[in-house]
Structure 1
Amino acid sequence: MKINQIWDELANDTSFAKGLLLRRYSGSVLPDVFVAIQQPEKQLCIASSISESIDVDISQFDNLQEIQIELIPDPNKQEKRILIFKLTNNQHRDIFSVLCEDLIANIATETNERQLVKTLLNRFEKWKSLFTKIASEGLSPEEQRGLFGELYFLRKFMQHNNNYSAVLNTWVGPASEVRDFQMGNWALEVKTTHGNNHQKIQISSERQLDITHLEKLYIYHVSLEKVQESGETLNQIVSSISNLLSHDAIALNRFRSKLYEAGYFEQHIGLYDTTGYFIRQATFYSVEDTFPRIQEKELRSGVGDVEYSIILSQCEEFKQTEELVFQTLIKQ
Structure 2
Amino acid sequence: MNRVHIIWNDLAKANSPSLLKKLYSADLSQYIYCIYEMHEKYCGIAISYSAKLEVNISQLNRLKDVSVYIQSDTSFEDSNLLIIKLSKSELLEIFAILCENLISAVSSITDQKRVIKKVLEQLEKWKALFDSFNSNGLSAAEQQGLYGELFLLRKFLNRGFPHHTTLSCWVGVDRALRDFQYRGWALEVKTTVTNNHQRLSISSERQLDENLLDYLYLYHLSVETSDGNGESLNQIITEISELINSDFVTFNLFNQKLMEVGYFEKDKGIYNNRHYKTRNENFYKIEGDFPRIKESELRDGIGDVKYSVIIDNCNEYLIPENTVFNTVNIYARD
Instruction: Give the TM bin, normalised by the shorter chain.
Output: over 0.9
Check whether the contact 2:219–2:283 (CA below 8 A) recurs between aligned residues. Answer: yes
Check whether the contact 1:161–1:167 (CA below 8 A) recurs between aligned residues. Answer: no
Do structure 1's residue 48 and structure 2's residue 51 form an aligned pair?
no
Check whether the contact 2:33–2:46 (CA below 8 A) recurs between aligned residues. Answer: yes
SS of match in other structure, 1:31: coil
> 1:81-134 CA distances to partner (integer Å, 9 max, x unpaired)?
211100111211121111111111121133333222221111101111100110
Check whether the contact 2:161–2:329 (CA below 8 A) recurs between aligned residues. Answer: no
* Cross-structure match for 1:10: 11
Do structure 1's residue 207 and structure 2's residue 236 form an aligned pair?
no
> 1:229-276 CA distances to partner (integer Å, 9 max, x unpaired)?
331110100001001012211211111111111111111111111111
* Cross-structure match for 1:165: 164
* Cross-structure match for 1:296: 295
Write the distance in 2 (CA, Å) between the matches of 1:286 and 1:36.
Answer: 50
Q: Which residue identity does 2:14 align to in structure 1?
A: D
* Cross-structure match for 2:181: 182
Q: How does 1:234-245 map to 2 (within 5 A)?
A: 234-245=233-244
Check whether the contact 1:31–1:109 (CA below 8 A) recurs between aligned residues. Answer: no
SS of match in other structure, 1:137: coil
* Cross-structure match for 1:102: 101
Deviates more, 1:49-58 or 1:142-151: 49-58
SS of match in other structure, 2:289: coil
Offset at residue 331 of structure 1 (A): 1.8
SS of match in other structure, 1:29: coil
Write the distance in 1 (CA, Å) between the matches of 2:30 and 2:159.
Answer: 37
> 1:252-308 CA distances to partner (integer Å, 9 max, x unpaired)?
111111111111111111111111111111111111111111111111121110111
SS of match in other structure, 2:45: strand
Check whether the contact 1:25–1:34 (CA below 8 A) recurs between aligned residues. Answer: yes
* Cross-structure match for 1:328: 327
Q: Which residue identity does 1:134 align to in structure 2?
A: F
* Cross-structure match for 1:74: 73
- Residue segments in structure 2 that go unaligned for 5+ positions in a row: none
SS of match in other structure, 2:105: helix
Q: Which residue identity does 2:253 align to in structure 1?
A: R
Offset at residue 195 of structure 1 (A): 2.7
Write the distance in 1 (CA, Å) between the matches of 2:9 and 2:326.
Answer: 45
Q: Which residue identity does 2:221 align to in structure 1?
A: V
Offset at residue 196 of structure 1 (A): 4.6
- Residue segments in structure 1 that go unaligned for 5+ positions in a row: none
> 1:150-173 CA distances to partner (integer Å, 9 max, x unpaired)?
000000111112411111111111
* Cross-structure match for 2:257: 258
Write the distance in 2 (CA, Å) between the matches of 1:62 and 1:288.
Answer: 47
Q: Which residue identity does 1:156 align to in structure 2?
A: K
Write the distance in 1 (CA, Å) between the matches of 2:213 and 2:252.
Answer: 29
SS of match in other structure, 2:219: strand
Check whether the contact 1:198–1:223 (CA below 8 A) recurs between aligned residues. Answer: no
Check whether the contact 2:197–2:312 (CA below 8 A) recurs between aligned residues. Answer: no
Q: Which residue identity does 1:131 align to in structure 2?
A: F
Write the distance in 2 (CA, Å) between the matches of 1:222 and 1:294.
Answer: 22
Check whether the contact 1:233–1:276 (CA below 8 A) recurs between aligned residues. Answer: yes
Offset at residue 213 of structure 1 (A): 1.2
Write the distance in 2 (CA, Å) between the matches of 1:253 and 1:21.
Answer: 25
Do structure 1's residue 217 and structure 2's residue 209 form an aligned pair?
no
Write the distance in 2 (CA, Å) between the matches of 1:208 and 1:62.
Answer: 35
Q: Which residue identity does 2:143 align to in structure 1?
A: Q
SS of match in other structure, 1:279: strand
Write the distance in 1 (CA, Å) between the matches of 2:160 and 2:64.
Answer: 41
Check whether the contact 2:197–2:311 (CA below 8 A) recurs between aligned residues. Answer: no
Identity of matched residues, %:
42
Write the distance in 1 (CA, Å) between the matches of 2:259 and 2:209.
Answer: 28
Q: Which residue identity does 2:18 align to in structure 1?
A: G
